[in-house]
């Protein structure tokens, strides 16, 4: 049912954990299943230097968050905001249709963390 890549990221999630002094934090819940995900970002020169996540979600949610941290690291804020849930699913070699909603969490949480960072920066001006 799952691709090799999904299983790999599920079994060995990359970048799991918190960034205590994160520049932006975003938490989203999945209305379909009630699962939760938090993304933490560290920004330097408008680039995502570090991205970590914590999730209370299913295997697909773990795999998609792990994948998105890899896609987002090293990208500029602008590029990272353009990462979509389908980019994540494609990079994982596809997700079963019934699990597509799980990839929303990863993309939405990343975008929420970036927006949190942008808001804080705006407030400091
Ligand atoms: Fe909840 Fe996948 S079933 S995120």
Residue range 88-125, pLDDT digits in tens = 999 999 999 989 888 889 999 999 999 999 999 999 87
Q: Is 57 in the pocket of ligand 1 (CB under 6 A)?
A: yes
Question: Looking at residue 19, what is its pLDDT?
Answer: 98
Which pTM was predicted? 0.94
What would the 3-class secondary structure string for the chain be?
A: CCCHHHHHHHHCCCCECCCCCCCEEEEEECCCCCCEEEEEEEEECCEEEEEEEEEECCHHHHHHHHHHHHHHCCCEHHHHHCCCHHHHHHHCCCCCHHHCCHHHHHHHHHHHHHHHHHHHHHHHC
**Residue 102: active-site member:** yes
Give domain limits for the chain.
4-120
Dump pLDDT digits (tens) for 49-98.
Answer: 999 999 998 999 999 999 999 999 999 999 999 999 999 999 999 999 98
Centroid of ligand 1 to alpha carbon of 62 (angstroms)? 9
Question: Looking at residue 10, what is its pLDDT?
Answer: 94
Question: Looking at residue 81, what is its pLDDT?
Answer: 97
CATH of 4-120 among 3.40.50.300, 3.90.1010.10, 3.40.50.2000, 2.60.40.1180? 3.90.1010.10
Centroid of ligand 1 to alpha carbon of 121 (angstroms)? 32
Dump pLDDT digits (tens) for 25-49.
Answer: 999 998 888 999 999 999 999 999 9
Best mutation site among 10, 29, 61 for ligand 1 pocket (most ligand atoms within 8 Å of CB): 61
């Amino acid at each position: 049912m799952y691709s090799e890549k999904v299983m790999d990221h599920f079994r060995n999630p990359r970048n799991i954990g918190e960034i205590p002094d994160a520049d932006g934090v975003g938490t989203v819940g999945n209305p379909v299943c009630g699962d939760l995900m938090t993304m933490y970002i560290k920004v330097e020169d408008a680039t995502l230097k570090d991205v970590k996540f914590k999730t209370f979600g299913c295997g697909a949610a773990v795999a998609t968050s792990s994948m998105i941290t890899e896609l987002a690291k090293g990208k500029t804020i602008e590029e990272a905001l353009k990462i979509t849930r389908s980019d994540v699913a494609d990079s994982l070699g596809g997700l079963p249709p019934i699990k597509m909603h799980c990839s929303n969490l990863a993309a939405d949480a990343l975008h929420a963390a970036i927006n949190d960072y942008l808001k804080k920066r705006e407030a400091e001006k």
